[in-house]
Amino acid sequence: MHSGSLKGEKYFMKFEKKAIIFDLDGVICFTDKFHYQAWKALADRLGIYFDEKINDRLRGVSRMASLEIILERSAETYTQEQKEAFAEEKNNIYRELLKTMSPADLTDEVRDTLVELRHRGYKLSIGSSSKNTKFILERIGLSDFFDAIADGTDISRSKPDPEVFLKSAAKLGVAPSDCAVVEDAKAGIEAAKAGGMAALALFGDAKDCGLEDYNLKSFSDLLNIF
């Protein structure tokens, strides 16, 4: 934690980094609600109990690993072929929900903060487990904004493995130790730390998970620490 008080005033020391890697779902935009709705539709059809608390465990983890967490509550045993069909069914529902998104789903706070961080000279990239990353960025009008994108199509191991963040840093040409990661998932905070990066928690189960270097009060709080 980089905070203290000086002559009675609260001050924050700056994180000295060259690049900031952003998680997508739950940080840049709120596709997490669509993941929930799509998994809920599948779970209801299969008669499996599923709620928001279980959904929190799906943050940052891959589609198939998410399905395995949901199936923990099922008495049935499914074949690999059936599981792949379930994952595809969920993804089709999810993509229909994503189609309702537009640049209006990017908040002014997120847009203005990203623009200001770029203006301050930081390299900015995405590190997301989602194979739908490019489609989502297109929907919210950020297709050409980031200096690099590493996503679910680039990796073989999802968070908490650091692979996606290490790929993102490599694409930027920045050493992991010069990167900070912004995450809403505890799995993502673990991944950032495993990759030797600073971990900034925003919302979700990342917040106060005990491994974070800093808890962000809001997205724009980034402007106080960089």
Least distance to ligand B16 from the beta carbon of 65, Å?
Answer: 7
Based on the shown chain and the rule CB under 6 A, indicate whether residue 131 belongs to the binding site for ligand B16. yes
The only residue of 18, 105, 141, 152 in contact with ligand B16, by rule CB under 6 A: 152
- Which of these ranges, 12-20, 44-52, 58-66, 173-181, lies near ligand B16 under the rule CB under 6 A? 58-66
How far apart, in whole angstroms, are the C-alpha atoms of residue 217 and residue 14? 15
Give, for 35, the enclosing helix (H) or strand (E): helix 32-46
- What is the contact mask toward ligand B16 in residues 172 to 201, using x (rule: CB under 6 A)? -------------x----------------
Least distance to ligand B16 from the beta carbon of 170, Å?
Answer: 18
The only residue of 34, 62, 123, 213 in contact with ligand B16, by rule CB under 6 A: 62
Q: Confirm whether 25 is a catalytic residue.
A: yes
Instruction: Give CA 181 to chain center in angstroms.
Output: 9
Based on the shown chain and the rule CB under 6 A, indicate whether residue 162 belongs to the binding site for ligand B16. no
Based on the shown chain and the rule CB under 5 A, indicate whether residue 25 belongs to the binding site for Mg ion. yes
Give the angle subtended at the CA of 215 by the CAs of 212 and 218, to the nearest 5°.
145
# of chain residues touching Mg ion (CB under 5 A):
5
The CA-based dihedral angle spanning residues 88, 93, 95, 98, taken in that order and rounded to the nearest 10 degrees: -150
Based on the shown chain and the rule CB under 6 A, indicate whether residue 83 belongs to the binding site for ligand B16. no
Q: Which residues pair with 221 in a beta bridge?
A: none
Residue 39 neighbours by CB under 8 Å, 6+ apart: 50, 55, 58, 66, 70, 90
Residue with tokens 């493995």: 161
3-state secondary structure of 198: strand
The only residue of 20, 66, 86, 214 in contact with ligand B16, by rule CB under 6 A: 66
Based on the shown chain and the rule CB under 6 A, indicate whether residue 113 belongs to the binding site for ligand B16. no
Based on the shown chain and the rule CB under 5 A, indicate whether residue 23 belongs to the binding site for Mg ion. yes
- Give exposure, 37-69, as e/b (b: 16+ Cβ within 10 Å): ebbbbbbeebebebeeebbebbbbbbbebbbee
Based on the shown chain and the rule CB under 6 A, indicate whether residue 26 belongs to the binding site for ligand B16. yes
Phi, psi of 211 (to 5 degrees): -105, -15
Based on the shown chain and the rule CB under 5 A, indicate whether residue 151 belongs to the binding site for Mg ion. no
How far apart, in whole angstroms, are the C-alpha atoms of residue 106 and residue 16? 27
Closest residue to bound ligand B16 by CB: 128
Give the angle subtended at the CA of 184 by the CAs of 135 and 11, to the nearest 5°.
125
Q: Confirm whether 23 is a catalytic residue.
A: yes
Least distance to ligand B16 from the beta carbon of 61, Å?
Answer: 6
**What are the catalytic residues?**
23, 25
| Contact residues: ligand B16, CB under 6 A | 23-26, 35, 58-63, 66, 91, 128-132, 152, 185
